[in-house]
């Protein structure tokens, strides 16, 4: 793909008529995420854009913005602040069905009860893997099922969340249950995660202790993936990476008509538009003959206000 065709097919539709002065590293990262998600390709319907084409496109964008620097429109090229090499490739969205989630939890409870608690919390909250790993006891309110997502554990270090914003998240969404209800705590099974947290085999009284830890540190990615493979094999569920639990949360919540502003608040997506670029196909399609009601509980139903 050439520079001109990439600009016409990808850059112009995404950035539109935005002034060069409002194009930030974060906006460019949103563009990369959108292109690496299903639907990012123009030629192949429902597919992500290949890294080779995306690399060409970022070079195109860099040249455009560098001209803005030369003309004195912007002080520096924002592409230079985008960590392209360090960004993981976003997986294809391949969510689990409810029956698969229940089979996974049943197998995990039999093999590794503590790991089953981790999985239930993960699938009922939509958090990123590093955010789950970085949870500490001071972040958890066992009376309400709310956790404060403040940090992420990555490469053996604690850091801020991906967006740099703290948020309150409920861990009680009935994602795995055979129901069309999305509200936190709607089922007894969803609330069982609180009982599981109270009964973890290792539970420190120190507020800064990690919920899921080994030797005082969060479980390593290797340990999580090892247990995950063992559980999926026992559950006889087709293998997908554990990060698909986050995709499952988003697709399930949207398919159950959870408010569009509520889902990104819980999962930490930057905006509803970012969410829709990946998960819109799971939203119920309105009937051609019957208008759909507009949700009136976008604010009232929130279990917590994200900061």
What is the domain count for the chain? 2
Are residues 102 and 237 both part of a single domain?
yes
For 214, list phi and psi in degrees, rounded to 5: -145, 120
Same domain for 73 and 103: no
Residues 59, 150 share a domain:
no
Show the tokens assigned to 219. Answer: 């479980």
Last residue of a domain, one of 246, 271, 292: 246
On whether both 103 and 241 belong to a single domain, the answer is yes
- CA angle centred on 290, ends 288 and 291, rounded to 5°: 95
Q: Where are the beta strands (DSSP E) in the chain?
A: 140-141, 146-149, 151-154, 157-160, 167-170, 213-214, 217-218
- The tokens for 172 are 């009680």
Burial environment of residue 1 by CB neighbours within 10 A (0 to 12, 13 to 18, 19 or more): middle
**C-alpha R_g of the chain:** 21
Residues of the chain with pLDDT under 70: 1, 83-91, 286-307
Say whether both 71 and 109 belong to one domain: no
CATH code, domain carrying 193: 1.10.443.10
Q: Which of 23, 50, 81 is the last residue of a domain?
A: 81
Which domain covers residue 65, as residue numbers? 3-81
- Residue 262 domain-assigned (yes or no): no
Residue 293 CA to residue 307 CA, distance in Å, equals: 28
Does any domain span residue 265? no
Is residue 228 domain-resident?
yes
Q: What is the dihedral sign for C-alpha 93, 265, 138, 163?
A: positive
In this structure, the number of other CB atoms found within 10 A of the CB of residue 295 comes to 14
- Smallest CA-to-CA distance from 121 within 198, 236, 234, 225 is with 198
Residue 55 and residue 108 share a domain = no
- Write the pLDDT tens digit of every residue in 69-118: 999 999 989 888 776 543 444 447 899 999 999 999 999 999 999 999 99
Query: Domain end: 231, 246, 261, which one?
Result: 246
Q: Say if residue 145 is in the same domain as residue 242.
A: yes
- Is the residue at 301 inside a domain? no
Structure tokens at 105: 């939890």
> Which tens digits make up the pLDDT trace of 261-277?
999 999 999 889 888 88
Q: What is the pLDDT of residue 294?
A: 45
Within a domain: 143: yes
Same domain as 150, residue 102: yes
pLDDT, residue 248, reads 97
Q: 138 and 171 in one domain?
A: yes
- Report how far apart, in Å, the C-alpha atoms of 301 and of each of 196, 237, 266 are: 25, 33, 12
């Amino acid at each position: 793909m050439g520079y001109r065709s990439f600009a016409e097919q990808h850059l112009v539709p995404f950035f539109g008529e935005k002034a060069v002065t409002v194009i930030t590293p974060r906006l460019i990262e949103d563009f990369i995420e959108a292109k690496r998600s299903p639907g990012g390709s123009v030629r192949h319907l429902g597919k992500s854009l290949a890294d080779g084409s995306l690399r060409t496109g970022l070079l195109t964008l860099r040249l455009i913005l560098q001209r803005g620097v030369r003309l004195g429109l912007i002080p520096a090229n924002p592409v230079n602040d985008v960590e392209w090499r360090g960004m993981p490739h976003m997986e294809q969205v391949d969510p689990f069905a409810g029956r698969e989630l229940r089979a996974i939890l049943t197998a995990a409870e039999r093999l590794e009860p503590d790991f089953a608690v981790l999985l239930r919390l993960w699938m009922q909250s939509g958090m990123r893997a590093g955010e789950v790993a970085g949870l500490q006891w001071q972040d958890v309110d066992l009376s309400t099922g709310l956790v404060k997502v403040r940090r992420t554990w990555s490469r053996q270090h604690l850091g801020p969340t991906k967006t740099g914003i703290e948020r309150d998240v409920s861990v009680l969404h009935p994602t795995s249950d055979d129901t069309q209800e999305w509200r936190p705590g709607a089922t007894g099974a969803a609330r069982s995660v609180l009982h599981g947290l109270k009964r973890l085999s290792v539970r420190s009284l120190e507020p800064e202790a990690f919920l899921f830890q080994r030797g005082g540190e969060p479980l390593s990615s290797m340990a999580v993936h090892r247990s995950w493979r063992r559980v999926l094999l026992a559950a006889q569920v087709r293998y997908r990476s554990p990060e698909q639990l986050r995709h499952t949360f988003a697709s399930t919540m949207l398919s159950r008509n959870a408010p569009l502003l509520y889902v990104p608040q819980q999962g930490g997506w930057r905006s509803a538009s970012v969410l829709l670029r990946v998960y819109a196909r799971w939203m119920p399609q309105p009937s051609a003959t019957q208008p759909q009601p507009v949700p009136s509980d976008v604010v009232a139903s929130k279990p917590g206000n994200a900061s």
